[in-house]
C-alpha cells in the first residue's frame, strides 16, 4: 500500500501547491506510466493534455519525477508535460551493472522519447537531469525545441557537492521518517516542514522491518554519476547547443558558480541567464513561484 503525504504529516499535492502560491487552472494529479527501453524499465508521470506542445522534465540525482510536481501542475495548462524517473531513481529500474554514465542517460532519453511519441519537445533538467539535458540536446539537436538548464554546468563547486555527499552519508537505511525530515530541515531550511514531508515521501520506501530507505540506487560498490563531474566533453556539448536556452541559477546555490553560469551563457548563442532569489541548488522546489515565472517568461518569448 502506498503511503500518502498527509499520513506522514505532509500535504497532498493540490493543497501544498496552493499553500506555496502556485497558480494552476485545473486540479490534476499525474498518471503513472512506464515503458521498457534499452532493457531498462522506465517509470514516468504523465500530466495530461496530449495535443499541446510537448515538455520533458528530468530530475536531479537522488530525486524523482515528483520533484517537478509544483512546476508541472502549473505549466500543464500550456504543455503536455512528462516527468521521467531516470534509471536508478524513483520507480524506474536499476542498472544491474551499475551503468549510470552520461551516455547511457542520453540513450535512455532518446529511446524513451521515441517510445512515447515525443518527436520535438522542450527539455527542462535540474542538476544531474540538467547535465543529461544539455548533453542530450547537443547530441540530438533536432529533438529539442527549447532547453532549460537548472543549476548545473560542466563545472560544479566542490563546496556544494561535498554538502550533498555529507547529507546523503549514512542514510542508506534509517529507523525513522521523522529522523530524515529533521536532517533535510538542517540541510535546506528554506522549505516549510509540511512541504518537506509531502515531497520526501515520494523519494522513500518503507522496508518490511519498518525501517526506511531511498528509492534511488544506493548499493555498495555502485559508482553513481550524479552529474557533478568536471569534463571537457561537457563544455564541448554546451558550446554546440543552438536552440533557445535558459540557464537558471539559484541565487544562494553552492553548487553552480556565477562564473560558470556566465561562461555557459557566453558559450550558447542567444541564451538567457536568470538567478532565482531565495533559492539554493534545488531551485524549483526552494522558490517554485519565481522559478515558474522565469520559465514562463522565457517560453513566452519563443517563436512557435
- Cα distance between residue 212 and residue 50, in whole Å: 36
Least confident of 100-109, 138-147, 228-237: 228-237
pLDDT at residue 2 in the model: 61
The answer to whether 270 touches 173, Cβ cutoff 8 Å, is: no
Structure confidence by residue, pLDDT tens digits, 44-98: 999 999 999 999 999 999 999 999 999 999 999 999 999 999 999 999 999 999 9
What residue spans of the chain are helical by DSSP H?
A: 13-20, 69-75, 102-115, 128-139, 158-168, 177-187, 193-200, 232-240, 258-267, 283-286, 288-300
What is the structure's pLDDT at 9? 61
pLDDT confidence bin for 223, thresholds 50/70/90:
very low
Strands of 204-206's sheet in order across: 173-174, 212-214, 204-206
pLDDT in tens, 103-137: 999 999 999 999 999 999 999 999 999 999 999 99
Question: For position 54, what pLDDT does the model report?
Answer: 98
- Distant-in-sequence, close-in-space partners of 45: CB < 8 Å, separation ≥ 6: 30, 31, 32, 33, 65, 66, 72, 82, 83
pLDDT at 193 (0 to 100) = 84
- In Å, how far are 105, 152, 181, 254 from 226, measured between CA atoms? 11, 11, 22, 16
Tell me the whole-structure pTM to 2 decimals: 0.94
Coil, strand or helix at 258: helix
Pick the range with the lowest mean pLDDT from 156-165, 173-182, 209-218, 259-268: 156-165
Helix, strand or coil, per DSSP, at residue 106: helix
Residue among 76, 232, 224 at smallest CA distance from 164: 224
Measured CA to CA, the distance from residue 122 to residue 135 in angstroms comes to 14
pLDDT score, position 258 = 98
**Pick the residue with more confidence: 185 or 146?**
146
Residue 228 confidence (pLDDT) above 80 = no
Is residue 153 scored above 80 in pLDDT? Answer: yes
Q: Please say whether the beta carbons of 291 and 279 come within 8 A.
A: yes
- Could you give all domains of the chain from N- to C-terminal order, each with its CATH number? 15-158+229-300 (3.40.50.1820)
Mean pLDDT, the chain, rounded, equals 91
Tell which phi-psi region holds residue 54, choosing left (phi > 0), alpha (psi between -120 and 50) or beta. beta
Amino acid at each position: 500500500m502506498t503511503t500518502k503525504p498527509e499520513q506522514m504529516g505532509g500535504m497532498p499535492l493540490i493543497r501544498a501547491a496552493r499553500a506555496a502560491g502556485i497558480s494552476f487552472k485545473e486540479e490534476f494529479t499525474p498518471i503513472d506510466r512506464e515503458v521498457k527501453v534499452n532493457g531498462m524499465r522506465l517509470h514516468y508521470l504523465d500530466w495530461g493534455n496530449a495535443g499541446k506542445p510537448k515538455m520533458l522534465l528530468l530530475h536531479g540525482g537522488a530525486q524523482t519525477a515528483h520533484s517537478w510536481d509544483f512546476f508541472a501542475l502549473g505549466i500543464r495548462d500550456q504543455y503536455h508535460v512528462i516527468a521521467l524517473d531516470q534509471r536508478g531513481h524513483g520507480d524506474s529500474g536499476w542498472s544491474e551493472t551499475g551503468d549510470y554514465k552520461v551516455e547511457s542517460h542520453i540513450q535512455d532519453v532518446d529511446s524513451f522519447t521515441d517510445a512515447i511519441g515525443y518527436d520535438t519537445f522542450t527539455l527542462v533538467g535540474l542538476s544531474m537531469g540538467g547535465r543529461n539535458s544539455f548533453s542530450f540536446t547537443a547530441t540530438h539537436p533536432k529533438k529539442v525545441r527549447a532547453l532549460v538548464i537548472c543549476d548545473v554546468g560542466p563545472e560544479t563547486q566542490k563546496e556544494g557537492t561535498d554538502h550533498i555527499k555529507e547529507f546523503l552519508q549514512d542514510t542508506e537505511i534509517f529507523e525513522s521518517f521523522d529522523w530524515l525530515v529533521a536532517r533535510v530541515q538542517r540541510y535546506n531550511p528554506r522549505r516549510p516542514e509540511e512541504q518537506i514531508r509531502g515531497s520526501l515521501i515520494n523519494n522513500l520506501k518503507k522496508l518490511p522491518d519498518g525501517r526506511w530507505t531511498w528509492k534511488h540506487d544506493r548499493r555498495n560498490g555502485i559508482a553513481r554519476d550524479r552529474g557533478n563531474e568536471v569534463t571537457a566533453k561537457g563544455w564541448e556539448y554546451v558550446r554546440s547547443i543552438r536552440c533557445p536556452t535558459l540557464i537558471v541559477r539559484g541565487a544562494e546555490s553552492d553548487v553552480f558558480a556565477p562564473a560558470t553560469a556566465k561562461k555557459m551563457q557566453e558559450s550558447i548563442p542567444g541564451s538567457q541567464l536568470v538567478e532565482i532569489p531565495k533559492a539554493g541548488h534545488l531551485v524549483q522546489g526552494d522558490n517554485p513561484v519565481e522559478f515558474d515565472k522565469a520559465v514562463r517568461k522565457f517560453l513566452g518569448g519563443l517563436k512557435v
